[in-house]
Structure 1
């Protein structure tokens, strides 16, 4: 069977806020101008929104611009923030509530909404289709198609129906080549095609090192008497502080007696014994958090890496024939812990840049450097520049002094200099022999849980007899290098139990990859100290399926 091809004006990889905002804005302009435009979006999840996971408190600024009547149209932003609380967790039992006066302004959420980004993406997908966009869910963009001059010319979707050895099964169906004048890459944090583009076109050669965190999230149904719609709670310190790691928890009271809670662990931690999953599970036993969960029921679980390097780590976002947008480029504002509005705005800027080019007779394949100029003239550039010191201050000086620096920078006056952090996250890990072991308590099945039951709640499913999508550059490294040096940290940094060290029948150590458990968080691709693991797309439609996350 031969691969077929289809041609479009614009192909968009990823049906998240950035990609769908690009699609909507493109068609809005085309419809207003009475011009025909062929736009398609490919999404590796079986449905739009199925792989989207975020906190989330959403700032509606970009949505206000894209769909000024979004409330009348029924966008799923229904719960306005009513109260902010920020805590410093000093121990497993105690926490200090910080007065709003000393909390950086970026952490104030008046006017924002507690919402599911997965459901917002579903709604944006509906708007895009009504505007004339073609959306192909269940089709994973597996590789980039390059033109004769090396320009991006489109993407190829993955073949379906291959077995573990890459041989064709009875269900085999070849993928398709989707060709375009311009291709948008909006895969989210650590997109595997975006990673390729960064290297091929040296897009990040003038940028600081990118930084990441892993966000682990649960959705709970809680008793009505413990539910406070609109309450936003953030905190830092314990339990991560015990391992000299940084990050923080969030707890948001959404509608319908549901609470969203999670822990973000910065992936620059140094102790290889640390397990972000177990840190999150024990954090729920803190009285500040437990008071809202007791008597409740956990209904969903998920995990996703976030790109948090901010302004200093932004790459060049254009290359011949393509643009890199949203969290694929790292536009999340970590000072606000928000990336939805910035991702959406990058998509809108991309749409306006591309439409202007196409209507001027552009045949495609060019490096749209005008995008960089338009980005610099936007509010999203100004916002990210204003918060450029937030992450580096915390990394350099810690929670206390770094927090004080950020209070001065954000609340009093902007610092006249730029702090830098060029240390790669994966390179920060110390030898296991130099670090204290961490003995995590067993989950109680009431507030804390194990990985298998958590993965079950993520609705993760992959066809087992398919090529493994977690590629090792050198299969000997996990046992010969990572195990003796770092006690193979993949066993712990993965929040889904994908990686295990087992004993075979002869008593020899075996590195096992349970790829069917993968929730597509990309942490392994980021944190492996040898940079030996590469995440690529599995068969389309596989992975988690997040409801209301």
Structure 2
């Protein structure tokens, strides 16, 4: 099918992704331009149906960067209402919860329990008031390059293409957004960013990125059990000591509780199911009581970068740069990345402004990474660089290393490294013990499909699959034969399913793409890297409510 010429729109800066990093970039750019009487056109596009629709986070928010960006955020009504008031850190066995000293990085005095989606919606309002053009429901599907090979913008995906690749009556061609500089703020494992890594060799000389899968539910609980401001984190059961992971439980205003579970995607047992581990965790005697008599009102899942300082890629290339969790600025010991994402966007905006309004030569904003190195973001991530890789030898070694690193304030004369990408860590199914998970009770624990239902996930069914296989035979020939089809377990949304004939023969992989909650786990954990996640039509995917 021959492509029609696409409409092109011209901007000084195009930002891809309306998360904290992208919004902070756009706001800071327009602040600088307006303060100094400069005309800079800034466009921000977001694949979710609205700003905040795809944002999933704990979230305990550290307001450091927000106060730098918008000093009068309280007066302007930023949705930071529930102040953190108590931290608890628990080690779980199968039947007990042992109170442990809260690590200093997890002290939350001065922080807030928030809905990240609501904060993003508020930031979008601030951006628009400054003159930023924001277009939700438009998925950036393609990076555009000029004749020199530099990035010249992005194109949004065509709408109204059938599964067979034919134009339907609802066909609308994508739009080209041209920019002097393009900012990629797609979040963890962004599909365009992944291509940029390869094209410009941005990961050369740095550690492989490692990831976690965060699965979250929002509950409305019995008012008698509500304790706004209480923050609980756990380690231990139900995870085995060789697998990195833990939980959060945050009490919010309005009798709401955010509960979530993170599993490091460098896990080794192909029989492990992060979703079932989370459901089992909620049945622990010390946890279950919080939810008895309550009701689950929302569900979601999202991968997050855990590689930290030693996995940060090269951040600039001709025509563009990377900010936020697309680059991997999460502070893993703090379990926080929104403040660092925002700071990276602000630093990028300052470097961009000087580059676009000054006499800097070339198409690459070389000042951005250097300014980052001079910021508190860089020193914060450097100080905790050894904590996450210390858990590669198991829970107890990791805790001992974390205690040491905390005592020396990250000033060790060495840097620990991530040696393997997450997809390379699975043992063969025959070499790993099977895990028997209890059946969900429908009250505290649930199945995948009922969970996806309350994520409000929706995709236009008659569109090309956004989950593609490089080789159609690999799922059965390799994944099923060697690893017992781990994609049927690591996906938290029931997207991947092995189906057979009635007599049990002819196994084949069925992809239920309409269930996808855009967590990106399949793109990360597939042992042969045979699954490629690309953006579906704009507006598709989950629609997380305001409390998430």
SS in 1 for 2:154: strand
Pairing 1:69-468 to 2, within 5 Å after superposition? 69-91=72-94, 93-100=95-102, 103=103, 105-241=104-240, 244-361=242-359, 366-396=363-393, 398-413=394-409, 414-468=411-465
Q: Write the distance in 2 (CA, Å) between the matches of 1:74 and 1:257.
A: 21
TM-score by length of 2: 0.97
Query: Residue 3 of structure 1: which of 3, 6, 14 is its match?
Result: 6
Q: How many residues align?
A: 542
Q: Write the distance in 2 (CA, Å) between the matches of 1:13 and 1:253.
A: 32
Is the aligned partner of 1:497 residue 2:518?
Answer: no
Superposed CA deviations along residues 38-75 of structure 1, whole A, max 9, x for unmatched, are: 10001000100000001111111000100011111111
Match of 2:468 in 1: 471
Is the aligned partner of 1:39 residue 2:42?
Answer: yes
- 1:411–1:108 distance in 2 versus 1, CA, 3 Å: farther
Moved more, 44-53 or 244-253: 244-253
Is the aligned partner of 1:56 residue 2:59?
Answer: yes
Superposed CA deviations along residues 472-522 of structure 1, whole A, max 9, x for unmatched, are: 110110011110100110000000000000014674212100000000000
Superposed CA deviations along residues 1-56 of structure 1, whole A, max 9, x for unmatched, are: 53100000000000000000000000001110111111000100010000000111
Superposed CA deviations along residues 517-537 of structure 1, whole A, max 9, x for unmatched, are: 000000000000000001000
In the TM superposition, residue 367 of structure 1 has moved relative to its aligned partner by: 1.4
In the TM superposition, residue 399 of structure 1 has moved relative to its aligned partner by: 1.8
Q: Write the distance in 2 (CA, Å) between the matches of 1:18 and 1:394.
A: 28
SS in 1 for 2:143: strand
Q: Write the distance in 2 (CA, Å) between the matches of 1:308 and 1:257.
A: 31
Contact preservation (8 Å) 2:429, 2:483: yes
Q: Write the distance in 2 (CA, Å) between the matches of 1:122 and 1:390.
A: 33
In the TM superposition, residue 412 of structure 1 has moved relative to its aligned partner by: 4.2
SS in 2 for 1:488: coil
Contact preservation (8 Å) 2:243, 2:395: no
Superposed CA deviations along residues 289-309 of structure 1, whole A, max 9, x for unmatched, are: 112111110000000000010
Contact preservation (8 Å) 1:504, 1:510: no
SS in 2 for 1:366: coil
SS in 2 for 1:8: strand
Contact preservation (8 Å) 1:57, 1:338: yes
Contact preservation (8 Å) 1:201, 1:319: yes
SS in 2 for 1:241: coil
Over 4 Å off, 4+ runs: none
In the TM superposition, residue 361 of structure 1 has moved relative to its aligned partner by: 4.3
Contact preservation (8 Å) 1:499, 1:513: yes
Q: Write the distance in 1 (CA, Å) between the matches of 2:399 and 2:239.
A: 16
Moved more, 113-122 or 518-527: 113-122
SS in 1 for 2:388: helix
Q: Write the distance in 1 (CA, Å) between the matches of 2:416 and 2:5.
A: 53
Superposed CA deviations along residues 434-483 of structure 1, whole A, max 9, x for unmatched, are: 11111111100000000110000000000111000001110110011110
Contact preservation (8 Å) 2:458, 2:515: yes
Match of 2:516 in 1: 518
Unaligned residue ranges in structure 1 (runs of 5+)? none
Contact preservation (8 Å) 1:154, 1:180: yes
Contact preservation (8 Å) 1:156, 1:176: yes
Q: Write the distance in 2 (CA, Å) between the matches of 1:528 and 1:134.
A: 37
Q: Write the distance in 2 (CA, Å) between the matches of 1:18 and 1:457.
A: 27
Superposed CA deviations along residues 351-379 of structure 1, whole A, max 9, x for unmatched, are: 0000011111458x611111111010000
Is the aligned partner of 1:13 residue 2:10?
Answer: no
Superposed CA deviations along residues 388-432 of structure 1, whole A, max 9, x for unmatched, are: 001111123x22221122122123443221111211111010010
